[in-house]
Structure 1
Amino acid sequence: MRDLIIAIALGLGIGSACRWFDLPLPAPPKLVGALLVLAMTLGFAAADQWLAVGA
């Protein structure tokens, strides 16, 4: 739960800083790139769960 709160706070902080300093968002501008980021995130979360069960 703590990790989720930290991740959300970090995401909001980066997004706010980009908006405040008028920087482009550090995200891919195309749908394929966004899906790649989503797939990597889901893979990381799945591996984390899988390793937690095995330990």
Structure 2
Amino acid sequence: MSLFLAGLATALLVGVGCRLLDLPLPAPPRWQGALLVVAMTIGFLLGSRLAG
């Protein structure tokens, strides 16, 4: 359950950060969006390894 909450908090922080910095939401039509998707995936995988 805590991993779910950590993932939800991370998603919310990324969404807020994208909005505040005027970045596109993680959607691949722009290369910045594609890089953000990659960064979120790597962060999730690393968090998963560190948590358990």
| Larger-gyration structure (1/2) | 1
Tell me, in whole angstroms, the C-alpha distance in 2 between the residues paired with 1:10 and 1:4. Answer: 10
2:11 counterpart of 1:11: yes
**Which portions of structure 1, spanning 4 or more consecutive aligned residues, are displaced by more than 6 angstroms?**
none
Q: Structure 1 unaligned runs (5+)?
A: 30-55
Tell me, in whole angstroms, the C-alpha distance in 1 between the residues paired with 2:10 and 2:18. Answer: 12
Report the number of matched residues: 29
Structure 1, residues 2-52: CA drift from partner, whole Å, max 9, x if none? 0000000000000000000000011246xxxxxxxxxxxxxxxxxxxxxxx
TM-score by length of 1: 0.48
Q: Structure 2 unaligned runs (5+)?
A: 30-52
* AA at the equivalent of 2:4: L
TM-score by length of 2: 0.50
* AA at the equivalent of 1:11: A
| Structure 1 counterpart SS, 2:25 | coil
Asked which structure has the greater RCO (Cα within 8 Å, sep 6+), the reply is 2
